[in-house]
């Protein structure tokens, strides 16, 4: 029975990684039609009510005291609003494979912030993982920028920095959320973060969201539903269920499949990556693996 459960969890984690890997392709296509900020808002406008229903259906403990509101606000800002604003704009400026690889550096940022603020040990493997990953980041960025066109105002360079900022936001979310998740229900914390993150989007979209809704194509709505239902609801529920049933370190290894799935899908779509890009991607993924393993 235990073996059957392990196989199920492995399959679930692969599916979650596949869905999240596909999201980079979907976002790249969707942002041609929909502004990245509006795309993020619509994603969580749909995902948040569904997460609330899931929370109620599962009969989880929804109580979190008011004193935790500042921490929950940080989670909403860094885990939803800023994270996906930076990520979606970054993807629109770069390409799906590069963004999926760069976003994986969140593990590296988590390791650095954990050492600085949680006093976690920073051993040789972690140092090597950080150095390899950031070397890979430089190779990925420069492999996509022609030498004669490089400048700090280059669109691809700006997009890469935004994706790295998105990864940094997830690291902050993880560090702040670590304390809350030890005390309160995981789904409750995530749902409150979704809710507050959606609210924080409102000032940036309120003026032109209605005209946009009237112009979104059928394919645009399919993209929004993919991001909301598959990536946010299925992805988060599947991920947290897997964490509950297996060790976090083992589950985290599956996240390395995300850029691999994105790159594979891109190849099938006719976008062949360069050797330099693949070398940089391997360095990042292996660096992340070393950091997770340590």
**184-203 tens-digit pLDDT:** 999 999 999 999 999 999 99
Radius of gyration of the chain (CA): 19
pLDDT > 70 fraction of the chain, expressed in percent and rounded:
95
Place 152 in a pLDDT band, splitting at 50, 70 and 90: low
**200-249 tens-digit pLDDT:** 999 999 999 999 999 999 999 999 999 999 999 999 999 988 888 877 66
Segment 122-140 shows an average pLDDT of 90
Tell which residue, 102, 67, 76, 68, has the closest CA to residue 87. Answer: 102
Predicted local confidence at residue 1, as pLDDT: 43
**256-277 tens-digit pLDDT:** 899 999 999 999 999 888 899 9
**41-57 tens-digit pLDDT:** 999 999 999 999 999 99
Average pLDDT of every residue of the chain: 91
Strands (E), the chain: none
Token duo for residue 228: 């909301």
> Rounded to whole angstroms, how far apart are CA atoms 129 and 131?
6
Tell which residue, 240, 260, 211, has the closest CA to residue 24. Answer: 260
Q: Are 187 and 239 in contact (CB under 8 A)?
A: no
Extents of the domains making up the chain = 22-293
183 C-beta neighbours (distance < 10 Å), count: 10
pTM of the model: 0.91
């Amino acid at each position: 029975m235990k073996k059957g459960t392990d196989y199920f969890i492995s399959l679930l984690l692969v599916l979650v990684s596949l869905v999240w890997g596909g999201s980079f392709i979907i976002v790249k296509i969707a942002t041609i039609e929909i502004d990245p900020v509006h795309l993020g808002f619509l994603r969580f406008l749909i995902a948040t009510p569904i997460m609330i229903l899931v929370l109620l259906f599962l009969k989880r403990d929804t109580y979190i005291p008011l004193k935790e509101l500042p921490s929950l606000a940080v989670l909403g800002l860094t885990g939803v609003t800023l994270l996906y604003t930076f990520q979606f704009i970054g993807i629109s400026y770069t390409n799906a494979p590069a963004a999926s690889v760069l976003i994986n550096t969140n593990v590296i940022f988590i390791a650095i912030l954990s050492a600085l603020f949680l006093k976690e040990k920073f051993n040789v493997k972690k140092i090597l993982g950080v150095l390899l990953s950031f070397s890979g980041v430089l190779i990925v960025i420069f492999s996509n920028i022609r030498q004669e066109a490089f400048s700090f105002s280059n669109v691809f360079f700006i997009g890469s920095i935004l994706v790295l900022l998105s990864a940094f936001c997830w690291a902050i979310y993880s560090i702040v959320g670590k304390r809350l998740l030890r005390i309160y229900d995981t789904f409750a914390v995530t749902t409150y973060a979704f809710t507050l993150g959606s609210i924080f989007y409102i000032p940036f979209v309120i003026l032109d969201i209605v005209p946009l809704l009237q112009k979104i194509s059928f394919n645009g709505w399919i993209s929004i539903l993919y991001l909301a239902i598959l990536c946010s609801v299925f992805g988060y529920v599947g991920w947290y269920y897997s964490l509950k049933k297996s060790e976090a370190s083992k589950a985290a290894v599956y996240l390395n499949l995300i850029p691999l799935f994105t790159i594979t899908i891109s190849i099938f779509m006719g976008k062949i990556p360069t050797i330099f890009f693949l070398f940089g991607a391997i360095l990042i993924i292996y660096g992340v693996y070393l950091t997770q393993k340590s």
